[in-house]
Amino acid sequence: MARYLVTGGAGFIGSHIVGRLAELGETVTVLDNLSTGKAQNLDRWWRQITFVEADIRDLDAVRRVCEGVDFVLHQAALPSVPRSVADPVTSNEVNVSGTLNILVAARDAGAKRVVYAGSSSAYGDTPTLPKREDMPASPLSPYAISKYTGELYCQVFARLYGIETVVLRYFNVFGPRQDPASQYAAVIPKFITALRRGDAPIIFGDGDQSRDFTYVANVVEANLRACTAPSVSGMVFNVACGHRTTLNDLVGMLQQILRVGTEPVHEAPRGGDVRHSLADISRAEELLGYSVLVSLEEGLARTIESSAPPAASL
């Protein structure tokens, strides 16, 4: 049995990773400051895990939780492009300095491998599709810069210090427990919430921008495989479905599942947003054994089902 540390484990993606590890009977420690994560995300597994409320910017706290750990799944970050545009300093402190603390502590504790949650925002708005890991980075926002800098630190630590690191570039992850109420909520929970209420979903721009939406179970699988795949230290992998969907088409799919006809409204495009995003996932398939377990359509249905209001009792 291995010992895992999941940073940001009370967050959306992190809690799904924690749940899967707990189901497998692994020993799991969660580090989260609960700034964006929620303790209730872990209610189902609370007795099976060790929870430490602390900030990744606190190196002493990070050192303590890294003691005796085999694998570090580093999900903790301050997400959102708009948030980083409004406050680039805090995004940098959390996503860059916090990641450096994780790497230093994991190295000094003798951890076997650090798996880092990267972001497809590193590619920026380069017109070439699909995005391949060997393409040059071209970040468009402070958030993208901070996540890409974390990648570079992972690669440098693998070369300089011998600690194994793997970078997973996530593409537009969605699923249950993604907070629709946040000012910086991702588009899918926002759209679902609006359509359920009979409100018009808001699309920034013409809606023809496209994304490679990825259900969270696929990301969990990629993380577990990245812990044990041989000969991949220092490498970067796209984690996605390999298909792109426009926001207009996404609204249409949600309308069909929810059986509503409320049409979206369009507002001015947001600064820092990329136009199109599509992943080449062949490297992850070949070297990690990654596969798409849940399609976009099935993932949307599961997400909607999980967020359905409880039936009224008679």
Q: 173 and 240 in contact (C-beta within 8 Å)?
A: no
Could you give the CA distance from residue 144 to residue 17 in angstroms, rounded to a whole number? 23
Give yes or no: 143 in active site. yes
Could you give the CA distance from residue 302 to residue 221 in angstroms, rounded to a whole number? 17
Pure H helices in the chain: 12-23, 59-66, 81-86, 88-92, 98-109, 142-161, 187-197, 216-228, 247-258, 282-287, 296-306
Q: 279 and 210 in contact (C-beta within 8 Å)?
A: no
How far is C-alpha 32 from the chain's CA centre? 15
Could you give the CA distance from residue 22 to residue 156 in angstroms, rounded to a whole number? 31
Q: Catalytic residue, from 116, 123, 143, 290: name it.
A: 143
Closest CA to 35 of 58, 62, 16, 54: 54
Torsion (CA) 287, 285, 4, 9 in degrees, nearest 10: 140
Which positions are annotated as active-site residues? Answer: 143
